[in-house]
Amino acid sequence: MTSDEIKKKIDDLQKRTDAVATKKAQFGGQLQAKKEELASLIKEIKTAGYDPKTLVGERDKAKAELEQMLGEYESDLTKTETAFSAYEKK
């Protein structure tokens, strides 16, 4: 390579290095923002009285309980509807 080609190569590499450094700084800022957002969510979850580590399990348990309650309610409602239907036929 000639000295001009070497200079051009160095300039190109420097521009690319600067671009990468800029992107790295941007990603670092985005990462920090996400970390802060996550920390805020964890604090909110803990303030609500939940443990973030068991939150999925607690959600699943609450969902199962709700589904059971809905089933019981539907069963009771069906019994009541049947009783009214039987009474109205008399």
- Asked whether residue 26 falls in the same domain as residue 2, the answer is yes
- Asked whether residue 9 falls in the same domain as residue 26, the answer is yes
For residue 30, pLDDT beyond 90: yes
pLDDT value for 29: 94
Give the range of the structural domain holding residue 20, as residue numbers without chain letter.
Answer: 1-49
Q: What average pLDDT does the segment 66-81 reach?
A: 96
Task: Check residue 48 and give left, alpha or beta (phi > 0: left; psi -120 to 50: alpha).
Answer: alpha
Two structure tokens written together for 88: 């109205």
40-71 pLDDT, tens digit each: 999 999 999 888 899 899 999 999 999 999 99
- Asked whether residue 9 falls in the same domain as residue 45, the answer is yes
Torsion angle, alpha carbons of 25, 28, 33, 34, to 10: 150
Query: What's the number of domains the chain is made of?
Result: 2
pLDDT value for 3: 92
Q: What pLDDT band is residue 90 in, cutting at 50, 70 and 90? A: confident
CA distance 34 to 20: 21
Q: What pLDDT band is residue 82 in, cutting at 50, 70 and 90? A: very high
